[in-house]
């Protein structure tokens, strides 16, 4: 078992290979793009890269782009001069300036507004920053790490992400596997989280629980596993059994159980094979959309389909995903 800063635990071969590659990447100043679904630990990998770099004693600034209001994003990133706009009674450094000589991590770059992408590109190419309202530029020396939860190529094709900016940040792409792709790590992660939340207790986990964990889809990845373990330990006296698991993990609407239902339909109804497969496809599409909270790129990846095929199937079944309605019933 290997660990990074005692927060990422793995024995998975693919993950260990990624960590090995990061050891080499960390010593360079090249831009790194971390790719992976929400909850896989992209921020932890960014921290690891910084701590292994020659800039480790210098600032590490994390920017959650999706959490910043779009109307404040420019001033937060680039700063502003006194009097440059209404309410700017003092000058203010932006987050890029705060990261100078260190590392800046732009989380969820896929949410970065198109209208600001050209300014970000200019900063990365010129290696200097100009505050809002400023006349002079400030030299900038930073290591850039970005992350995306979806394939940026799809956004480029939709004209939602600049191709030149994509080339600038995609120098060293690192794909972090989803938890379902490294289910051999689940027992070690469970043990780690139990030690983290209740270090004073010795808690046993039944084999059946581990089986359920390994077969579960984990749409929220390691973050979801952490939250579930944290929830479970509040209601257990020493052993975790299937009865302690949340309903969503045992729900009959779980993707894998769809095919069990299909088998019952074949046995107990007059539905023929074609109708059953059409029904199964419909439910798989709907379930993948529910797990991905309407993110079609992620839903398509869950089902092993390319995005265009996935969209064709949505049209075929006349599925119009209602994000607001589904969020209330989504499994996380």
Write out pLDDT tens, residues 284-312.
Answer: 888 788 777 788 888 887 777 878 788 88
Buried b (16+ CB within 10 A) or exposed e, 270-280: eeeeeebeebe
pTM of the entire predicted model: 0.75
pLDDT value of position 118 = 92
Write out pLDDT tens, residues 186-233.
Answer: 999 999 999 999 988 889 999 999 988 988 878 789 999 999 999 999
Q: Which fold has domain 182-250?
A: Helicase, Ruva Protein; domain 3 (1.10.8)
CATH of domain 255-327: 1.10.10
For the chain, the structural domain boundaries read: 2-175, 182-250, 255-327
Among the four given CATH numbers 3.40.50.300, 3.30.460.10, 3.30.70.141, 3.30.70.3290, the one describing domain 2-175: 3.40.50.300
Buried b (16+ CB within 10 A) or exposed e, 230-242: eebbeebeeebee
Write out pLDDT tens, residues 66-114.
Answer: 888 877 888 888 887 665 665 556 677 889 999 999 999 999 999 999 9
- Measured between alpha carbons, how far is 155 from 150 in angstroms, rounded to an integer? 9
């Amino acid at each position: 078992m290997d660990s990074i800063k005692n927060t990422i635990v793995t024995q998975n071969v693919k993950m260990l290979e990624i960590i090995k590659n990061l050891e080499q990447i960390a010593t360079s100043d090249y831009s790194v793009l971390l790719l992976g679904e929400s909850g896989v630990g992209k921020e932890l990998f960014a921290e690891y890269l910084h701590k292994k770099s020659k800039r480790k004693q210098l600032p590490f600034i994390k920017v959650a782009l999706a959490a910043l209001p779009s109307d404040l994003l420019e001033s937060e990133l680039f700063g502003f001069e006194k009097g440059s706009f209404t309410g700017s009674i003092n000058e203010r450094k932006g987050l890029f300036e705060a990261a100078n000589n260190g590392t800046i991590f732009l989380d969820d770059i896929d949410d970065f507004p198109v209208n600001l992408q050209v300014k970000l590109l200019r900063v990365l190419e010129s290696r200097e920053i100009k505050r809002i309202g400023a006349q002079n530029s400030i030299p900038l020396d930073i290591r850039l790490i970005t992350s995306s939860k979806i394939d940026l190529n799809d956004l480029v094709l939709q004209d939602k992400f600049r191709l030149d900016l994509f080339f600038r940040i995609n120098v060293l792409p690192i794909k972090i596997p989803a938890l379902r792709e490294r289910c051999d790590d689940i027992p070690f992660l469970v043990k780690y989280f139990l030690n983290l939340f209740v270090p004073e207790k010795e808690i046993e986990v039944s084999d059946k629980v581990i089986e359920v964990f390994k077969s579960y889809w984990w749409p929220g990845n390691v973050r979801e596993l952490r939250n579930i373990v944290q929830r479970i330990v509040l209601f257990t006296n020493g052993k975790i059994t299937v009865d302690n698991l949340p309903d969503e993990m045992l729900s009959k609407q779980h993707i894998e159980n769809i095919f069990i239902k299909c088998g019952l339909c074949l046995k107990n109804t007059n539905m023929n094979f074609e109708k059953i497969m059409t029904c199964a496809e419909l439910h798989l599409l709907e379930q993948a959309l529910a797990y991905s909270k309407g993110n079609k790129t992620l839903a398509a990846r869950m089902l092993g389909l390319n995005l265009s095929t996935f969209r064709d199937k949505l049209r075929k079944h006349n599925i119009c995903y209602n994000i607001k309605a589904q969020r209330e019933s989504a499994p996380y």
